[in-house]
Structure 1
Amino acid sequence: MKIQGKMFIWLAVFILATAVVYGVWAKEPAGATALFLAFGLSVMIGYYLTFTARRVDTGAQDNKEADVADDSGEVGFFSPHSWQPLALGFGGALAFLSVAVGWWLMYFSAPIILVAVWGWVFEYYRGENRTQ
């Protein structure tokens, strides 16, 4: 994680320099604002990764003598049978379509998004998976 944190911090420095040069040279506020926001996002990610790297064990990516197989193992738990991402994708597509077609379409997409997020968060708290 130390390597990733340093990469994001250096990326933030590059984006900041690019934002300053772009803001002075182009005199266009939308692009400069987007670059400054990208700088802030990169700083937040870099800070999080370097802060977390101090609290966890050294990973294989921080060891110069490590093999690829040293970082293998369980990454996390991912639900193999969830239909909620499909519903969330459909609701998100409708929401983005409402920007082009008309904001009235958001009345149909917002409930789909809310139900999909609710179902995805609580899918293991109902039915046969519920804990007593």
Structure 2
Amino acid sequence: MKTNVNLLWVLAVFFAVVTAVYVVWSLVDPFHGRVEWAGTFMLGLSTILMAFVAFYLDKVHAAQGGELPEDRLDGNIDDGDPEMGFFSPWSWWPIFLAASTALLFLGLAVGYWISFIGVGLGLVALTGWVYEYYRGLFAR
């Protein structure tokens, strides 16, 4: 993970340099002569994104003790196999939730009225997914 952090910091510095070069280049351009804001913001936000992700991964890496089991040469496969949580293997609700999200984005692209249908179905699917273990065959 430390290699990933270093690569992301290198990318952040690279995007910062490219942003500066882009601004200077657009200023000295005889046809344009001013800052081109769309590209400047895109490159600046790319710099910030790389810095945020690198900072986050660096803090997570430090909180995990500095070296992950899969990074060690003497590590076993079982060392990096933690409990990830509980997942319902036969639940249909995530499929309905994905379909409602697809309808929501289709509505944003085609017609806003489809988004209302997607939001309604999404609320039903999210409620069903949250409460699926409170009713029926798998109630606890």
Decide: shared fold, TM above 0.5.
yes
Count of residues in Structure 1 that have an aligned counterpart in Structure 2: 128
Q: Which runs of 5+ in 1 are unaligned?
A: none
C-alpha spacing 1:93/1:19, structure 2 compared with 1 (3 Å)? farther
Q: Percent identity?
A: 34
C-alpha spacing 1:82/1:51, structure 2 compared with 1 (3 Å)? same
The equivalent position to 1:60 in structure 2, one of 46, 55, 69, is 69
Q: Secondary structure at the match of 1:80?
A: coil
| Superposition pairs of residues 1-132 of structure 1, within 5 angstroms | 1-25=1-25, 28-57=36-65, 58-63=67-72, 65-66=73-74, 69=77, 72-74=80-82, 76-77=84-85, 78-120=87-129, 122-123=130-131, 126-127=134-135, 128=138, 130=140
**Bigger RCO of structures 1 and 2 (CA < 8 A, at least 6 apart):** 1
Alignment RMSD (CA, Å) = 3.0
Rg: which structure is higher? 2
* Counterpart for residue 31 of structure 2: none
Q: Which amino acid aligns with 1:98?
A: G
Runs of 4+, deviation exceeding 6 Å: none
What is the TM-score normalised by the length of structure 2?
A: 0.66
